[in-house]
Structure 1
C-alpha cells in the first residue's frame, strides 16, 4: 500500500473514532512503528492532524455556518443530485415534512406538481412550492430566524405534534458515530420533532458531511431509516450505517438533467 492510501485510511479512521494510536496504524495497515510515525509526521505537516503521545487526534474545526442566502448561491452539483434522488421518493397523496436545509430545498425545487401535502418551517420552500397548484402547503408558524430563513420555537413544536406524516426529509451539518448534528440548538430541536412525527426518516447529506460533527446533536444514527448522499462512503462508515440498520442510497452525477 502506498503512503497516500494509508494517509487517507488514517483520516477516515480518525473521522469515525477521533483518535488513533501508532499501534492501531501498524495493525490496520501492516506497517512498522517507524512507518506509522512517518505517516503521522506527514499528516501533521499538512495540518490534517494533531500528534499526541503515541498517536494522533483530529484538530477541532469550528466552521462558520453562512447565512441561508449565501449557502443557496453555493448549492453544489452534489446537493442537486441528492435533491433529485430525494424528490423521486415523494408520491401522490404522500404527507411530507421538509426541513429548512439547503439540500432539502434542492429536493423541493425538483418536485413534480403532484397531489401531496408538504409541511415545512422554511419560508423559502413554502414560497417556491406555492407555485405548484396540486400541492397543499402547511407553513409552520413561529419565531423567524432571519439569517437562515426558518421558523422555530414552542409554537412550531406544538403544531408539529399534531401531524403524522409518511416521510420527513432532514438535512444535517454533520453525521458521524456521535449522531446527527447542526450548528444551532433551536434548529436541531425542530428537526428532532419532525423526525418523531414521520413513519420514515430520510437524511440528505453530501459526502463532506459524513464523519463530521457540529455543536448540537439532535438525533442518533439509529433514528434514521435512509441516508441519501452523493458518493459511496468509506467501509467504516458503511459498517456504522449497517450496525444501526440505516439504508444507503447514493446518486450518480450523470443523472442530473438540464431542467
Structure 2
C-alpha cells in the first residue's frame, strides 16, 4: 500500500473513532512502527492531525455556522427523524417552547393540528406553525438577528419569565461533558432562560454534535431531561448521561426495531 493510501485510511479512521495509536496503524496497514511515525509526521505537516503520545487525534475545528437559509437546505433525513420523534411527544393541551435550531424546525414542521400553545423566538418556527390548525403561537419580540432569523435581547428574556411550559425543545451546536454549547452568546442566553421555564427539557441533536464544544455554554447536562438523536454516542458519554438523569432516545435504534 502506498503512503498516500495509508494517510487517507488514517484520516477516515479518525473521523469515525477520533483517536488512533501507532500500534493500531501497524496492525491496520501491516507496517513498522517507524513507518507509522513517518506517516503521522507527514499528516502533521499538512495540519491534518495533532500528534499525541503514541498516536494522533484530529485537530479541533469549529465549523463556520452558516446562515439560517443555508442550514434549512441542509436539514437531513436524520434530523427529520429526530423531529418526527420529538413531534410525537407533543399532545393536545400542551404548552411548549421551540427554539431557533433547524433540528427543532424539523419538529415544528411535523406537528399535527391540535390545541397547543407554542412560544418561540424563531421567525421560521412561527411561520411554519401559522399554517397548522388550532396551534396558538406567541412570538417573543426583541432584536432581530438577521442572519439566523431569531429574536433576542433583554425583552425576550423578560417576557420568557412570564411563561411556564410543559416542554422545551432545544437545539445545540455542541454537546459534551462540558454541557450544551453554541456559537452565539445572545442565542444561548435565550435558550438558558427557556430551559428555566420548562417542566421537561428535550434536546434535539444529531450524532455530529456529540463531543463538540463551542464558544458559549448555556446549560449543563444536569439541566436537561432527554436527548433525541439519530445515533447513540460512545459508551462513556452514555454513562455520563445516565448519571445526570438524562434519558437517551435513538431514532436509528427505533427504526431498526421496527424491522426486526
- Specify the alignment match of 2:43 in structure 1: 45
Aligned twin of 1:30: none
Q: Secondary structure at the match of 1:217?
A: strand
TM-score by length of 1: 0.82
Measured after TM superposition, the shift of residue 45 of structure 1 is: 2.9
Distance in 2 (CA, whole Å) between partners of 1:130 and 1:87 is: 16
* Residue 120 of structure 1, CA deviation: 0.2
Is 2:181 the partner of 1:181?
Answer: yes
Instruction: Measure, in 1, the Cα distance between the counterparts of 2:112 and 2:123.
Output: 19
**How many Å apart are 1:172 and its aligned residue?**
0.2
- CA displacement at 1:53 relative to structure 2: 5.3
Which residues of structure 2 form unaligned runs of 5+? 1-8, 25-31, 256-260
Once the two structures are TM-superposed, the CA of residue 114 in structure 1 deviates from its matched residue by 0.6
Within 1, Cα distance between the matches of 2:159 and 2:37? 53
Q: CA 1:40/1:244 → structure 2, altered by over 3 Å: closer, same or farther?
A: farther
SS in 2 for 1:96: strand
Separation in 2, partners of 1:85, 1:54: 42
1:82 & 1:39 partners in 2: Cα distance?
A: 41
Deviation at 1:8, TM superposition (A): 5.5
Instruction: Report the TM-score when normalising by structure 2.
Output: 0.81
In structure 2, relative to structure 1, the CA distance for the partners of 1:88 and 1:114 (3 Å cut) is same
Question: What's 1:219 paired with?
Answer: 219
> Contact 1:78–1:253 at 8 Å: present in 2 too?
no
SS in 1 for 2:200: strand
State the superposition RMSD in angstroms: 3.1
Point out the structure with max Rg over C-alpha. 2
Query: For 1:2-17, what aligned pairs fall within 5 Å after superposition?
Result: 11-12=17-18
Equivalent positions of 1:81-120 (< 5 A) are 81-120=81-120
Instruction: Report what 1:230 is aligned to.
Output: 230
Total equivalences in the alignment: 238
Alignment-derived partner of residue 135 in structure 2: 135
Alignment partner, residue 27 of structure 2: none
Report if aligned partners of 2:40, 2:51 keep a CA contact under 8 Å in 1: no
What secondary structure does 1:90 align onto? coil
Distance 1:119 1:254 in 2: 29
Asked which structure has the greater RCO (Cα within 8 Å, sep 6+), the reply is 1
* Stretches of structure 1 lacking an aligned partner (at least 5 in a row): 15-19, 27-33
